[in-house]
Structure 1
């Protein structure tokens, strides 16, 4: 990979800012911090736009546990691509920030899962839901392009919404079980999507821990 195409996350992001973001996650369940400059956003969004996506199921589960969603996704991230490099850079950045904290709210993370998601403009990208408990410590969402309203909520009805600003170029971190003193994973939702939103989602899968 040439230097011209490699994202400069570790050069443009401030580790202390990411550490402060992690402390905010302890308090607010989720927080975001800017990490990408204009060149990086453009390079990553261009690479993500070339992927082959499939539409997510419009509804997952039934009854009170139903989740409604309107986006496209793929887990087929080319080996050696700028997107794979980005996963490694985000993992290194988060772990460097964790080392700045005493005590650290969780062990070092390994992002086993990478998902690229594309949200077209919509009034509801995904309804209130929680990620499975098998995903531990942190979920990291890198916003490469676009704008949408991300909220932490209390339940599937969307009670007590807390807006978490996460403009393009930001890294949004959200707690999962094993992060901090409280062993919980919050309900969250993406409401209005104002412009095509491309994100990379990274998760630590406990089933793959040695």
Structure 2
């Protein structure tokens, strides 16, 4: 599967949200991101929702703290980089639950911030490609199951072999200039309407 990693130019144009208390670490992180060329805004306490235009979010992951990242509960398209002050099982579980793409540790060091953003964006883009591929495969599988079911319905209705029933359905779909999966769905819907009526007459 081919895919394009992010370029440095695209990183430099990124809009970055930093969710961290206003302290030396926050200042150092924001300054380094601005040196890279990113547009940066800092927020604290954590917002309920991220700005819609956010490309990357650096956020303090501190499960023991009193502030909660309510925005985790919403679907987030932004690349997520967790900022941690220590490592323990609770912090690691929180990072995994948030589906963070990268981690930076405190105290913040300017060296490595660019690499962290690049790796996080690379992983996020690859994840998007995989999810899109899975969605396409899922749609294909659903269509195949739909076609198989419609083929069996036609086979029983018209007393044809399944191969002949499939050929008839395919020919009808081509004649009506519609996809075979749409044709199959129409057949199944029609069968659902006819079957109860026929049972009443029996």
- TM normalised by structure 1 equals 0.24
Higher relative contact order, chain-length normalized (CA < 8 Å, sep 6+): 1
Bigger strand share: 1
- TM normalised by structure 2 equals 0.25
Bigger helix share: 2
